[in-house]
Amino acid sequence: MTATDRPAGTGRLLTGVTWAVLLLGLWLWGRAATAGNSAPTTGDVAAVGRPLGAPLPPAHDPLGGAAPQRVEIPSLGIEAPVVRRGLDDEGAIEPPPFEEPGAVGWYAEGTEPGTEGAGLFVGHVDTETEPAVFYGLSAARPGEKVLVARSDGKTAEFTIDDVQVFTRERFDAQKAYGPREDGRAELRLITCGGTYDRTSHAYTANVVVSAYLTAEKGAATGDAKNRVSSRT
């Protein structure tokens, strides 16, 4: 979403994310059926995509379990604390509180980022007065890095390999939440996209950025370690 697409004075990611993440609870119950669905056809999903032939690094072996503390996407200028979130009574991932627009929500009942499977992050795109943490997420491109600082002192480095925009009518739960390749540690970052529908009070699409683990770094030291601990 560009700045010109964003309606002025909105705080609407709550509905923009909810219709997509609401499907998570249903997908967890009916994964076998959902996994068999084919991907949406061209036009239903707008893939930002990777240039043909562009090389990507090999996958790194999954890490041991540890909770995420911070997430950083250097190319987008995103650096944010991670807050634990669960499912609400309707089966939707609880997004970060609106009073924390700079935080990223992690579905803590799912995969820990860096371990085998797909870890799920959600974040607001805007508030009533200004852009929020994932406002620029749709500008992500394959090959760019996502760094996740973990509670074990390690930083899991992911490489983006896919950026897609799913319309509300063609949202594909398997593509959004399921692992792309068995045995890999993967990551999904989700926010709203498209345009704001003033009739339904929701955005018309969701941006889904996919990444996979390609490196790990040791425990942070010195100023870097102090910076992480002071913001979590």
Q: Give the CATH number for residue 225.
A: 2.40.260.10
Total length of the chain: 232
C-alpha–C-alpha distance, residues 225 and 153, integer Å: 8
Whether 40 is covered by a domain: the verdict is no
Nearest to 81 by CA among 96, 91, 60, 63: 96
Measure the CA–CA gap between 178 and 37, rounded to whole angstroms.
12
124 pLDDT tier (thresholds 50, 70, 90): confident
Residue 116 has pLDDT above 50, yes or no: yes
Residue 5 counted as domain residue: no
CA quadruple 38, 204, 27, 122: dihedral sign = positive
Under the banding of pLDDT at 50, 70 and 90, the label for residue 29 is very low
Q: Over the stretch 140-172, which tens digit does the pLDDT of each residue have?
A: 999 999 999 999 999 999 999 999 998 877 877
Return the structure tokens found at 136.
């620029």
Distances (CA, A) of 132 to 23, 88, 167, 187, 211: 23, 22, 21, 20, 21
Report the pLDDT value the prediction gives residue 118, as an integer from 0 to 100: 95
In a domain, 43, yes or no: no
117-135 average pLDDT score: 88
**How many domains are contained in the chain?**
1
Separation between Cα atoms, residue 215 and residue 124, nearest integer Å:
27
pLDDT, tens digit (0-9, with 9 covering 90-100), for 76-102: 999 999 999 988 777 777 888 888 989
Q: Is the pLDDT of residue 53 over 70?
A: no
| pTM, to two decimals | 0.75
DSSP bridge partners of 219: none
Query: Does a structural domain hold residue 8?
Result: no
Please say whether the beta carbons of 211 and 184 come within 8 A: no
- Which band of pLDDT confidence, cut at 50, 70 and 90, is reported for residue 74? very high
Structural domain harbouring 126 = 13-34+50-230
How confident is the prediction for the chain on average, in pLDDT?
76
pLDDT of residue 225: 44
Decide if 62 is inside a domain. Answer: yes
Is 42 a member of any domain?
A: no
In the predicted model, what is the mean pLDDT of residues 167-186? 86
Q: What's the pLDDT at 98?
A: 82
Residues 6+ apart with CB under 8 A from 80: 70, 71, 72, 102, 103, 104, 123, 133
Q: Is residue 89 part of a domain?
A: yes
Please report the pLDDT score of residue 24 as a whole number. Answer: 53
Contact 180/210 with Cβ under 8 angstroms?
yes
pLDDT of 137 strictly over 90: yes
Q: pLDDT at position 176, please?
A: 83
For the purposes of burial, counting CB atoms within 10 Å of the CB of 64, is it exposed (0-12), middle (13-18) or buried (19 or more)? exposed
Asked whether residue 6 is domain-assigned, the answer is no
Amino acid 138: pLDDT = 92
